[in-house]
Amino acid sequence: MNSPFFALLRRDIKLGLRQSGEWVNPLAFFVMVITLVPLAITPTPSLLAQVGPGILWIAALLSVLLAMDSLFRQDFDDGSLEQLLLIPTPLPLLVLAKVLAHWLLTGLSLTLLSPLMAVLLNLPLSVVPVLMLTLLIGTLTLSLISAIAAALTVGLRRGGVLVTLISLPLHIPVLIFATAVVQAKLDGLPVVGFLALLAAFLLVALVLAPFAAAASLRLAIAGGE
């Protein structure tokens, strides 16, 4: 538990908790979107239940993207990112630690908050466990994919918009299948196939994203020297 991986994981979680905006802002945005969108669409309970899964997942996606720009930026600005390159631990493993810390503060928090949001959207309680499972799998996948874009733009002063533009096309399959899982549960259809696809996306992201993000960070550091 004293390895650089766990040390960096604990350090990023502590920093995130101290800087409450890092995880409170995405949560507040998540609640605001789910609260306001139904007012603009329809307050009818039956219609809300039909569009609820899509609203929840769009809000979750935008909330994750909102916090991704700061994933590597603070370390890049204060020079600690360069120190990570000197640690014997492979950089992709350290990238994974930072992504996991980010997910624990944002994705996991969104998942724990989702039952309340499901009630606001008139979703049946029987759907809530499946919804939470899709958020657990899907938000971690979103964080891993977005980490690549965050690493590519870390050297830019205003890279937040670019993070969204670069990673958004890669998020669409996750958004489609995660919403399909919840919709299938609402319609009484099997959800195992959709969940298997979501899990496959997560496995691919776990294998490839840390290496792609690490390579992008090396380029950013080399370009800044």
Residue 16, amino acid = G
**Cα 111 to the chain's mean position, in Å?**
11
Distance CA 38, CA 45 (A): 10
| Phi, psi of 153, deg, nearest 5 | -105, 10
Look up residue 43 and give its DSSP letter.
Answer: -
- Answer yes or no: pTM beyond 0.85: yes
Distance CA 22, CA 17 (A): 8
Distance CA 36, CA 71 (A): 28
Look up residue 39 and give its DSSP letter.
Answer: H
Look up residue 87 and give its DSSP letter.
Answer: S
pLDDT in tens, the chain (225 residues): 568 888 889 988 888 888 766 678 889 999 998 888 777 776 677 777 788 888 899 999 999 888 787 788 888 877 778 888 788 888 999 999 999 999 999 999 999 999 999 988 888 888 999 999 999 999 999 999 999 988 888 877 665 677 888 888 889 999 999 999 998 998 888 899 889 999 999 999 999 999 999 998 888 777 655
Angle made by CA atoms 106, 7, 29, in degrees to the nearest 5? 10
